[in-house]
Amino acid sequence: MSVDLFVSHYNYWVVIFLMMVGFYILISRGNLIKKIVGLNVFQTSVFMLYISMGKITGGTPPILLDDPHGEGEAVGHVLYSNPLPHVLILTAIVVGIATTSVGLALAVRIKEAYGTLEEDEINRVEAQTEAAE
């Protein structure tokens, strides 16, 4: 039974794995570029989670079909899938790309200002600057 549960919900296991990998990269690394990559992996897992929840087995696109008699009534009982999760994820992908580009631009500026992308070294340089003032 546990194997059947795993096989039937494998997409959720992939989401959990990607989420934990992204979170681990985010908290374990001091390099700012690696942190941005970790955030992107985590974000991708959230996208996959929402898309997985929006999937309805046997669902059809929400397009109403007219009946053959031309009365405008829907034909029979049809199971429609909700397009809203997919639309929201498309918007989230665009926002994620914009956020990643801003993060990378900031990383370039930090590299120019401090000469490094390592968090510890940036904190050390900042502390030395404050001590000198």
Which tens digits make up the pLDDT trace of 73-117? 555 677 778 888 888 999 999 999 999 999 999 999 999 999 999
Phi, psi of 16 (to 5 degrees): -60, -45
Q: Around Cβ 15, how many Cβ atoms within 10 Å?
A: 21
**pTM of the shown model:** 0.78
pLDDT band for position 70 (50/70/90)?
Answer: low
Residues 96, 101, 105, 106, Cα dihedral to 10°: 0
Question: Which pLDDT belongs to residue 1?
Answer: 53
pLDDT band for position 65 (50/70/90)?
Answer: low
Orientation angle between helical segments 84-114 and 32-54, nearest 10 degrees: 180
Phi, psi of 47 (to 5 degrees): -60, -45
Cβ proximity of 56 and 81 under 8 Å = yes
Mean pLDDT of 58-70: 68
Would you mind telling me the total number of residues written for the chain in this entry? 133
Separation CA 101–CA 68 (nearest Å) = 52
Fold of 3-60+78-132: Helix Hairpins (1.10.287)
pLDDT higher than threshold 80 for residue 120 = yes
Separation CA 116–CA 43 (nearest Å) = 26
Separation CA 81–CA 34 (nearest Å) = 37
Question: Which pLDDT belongs to residue 75?
Answer: 57
pLDDT band for position 123 (50/70/90)?
Answer: very high
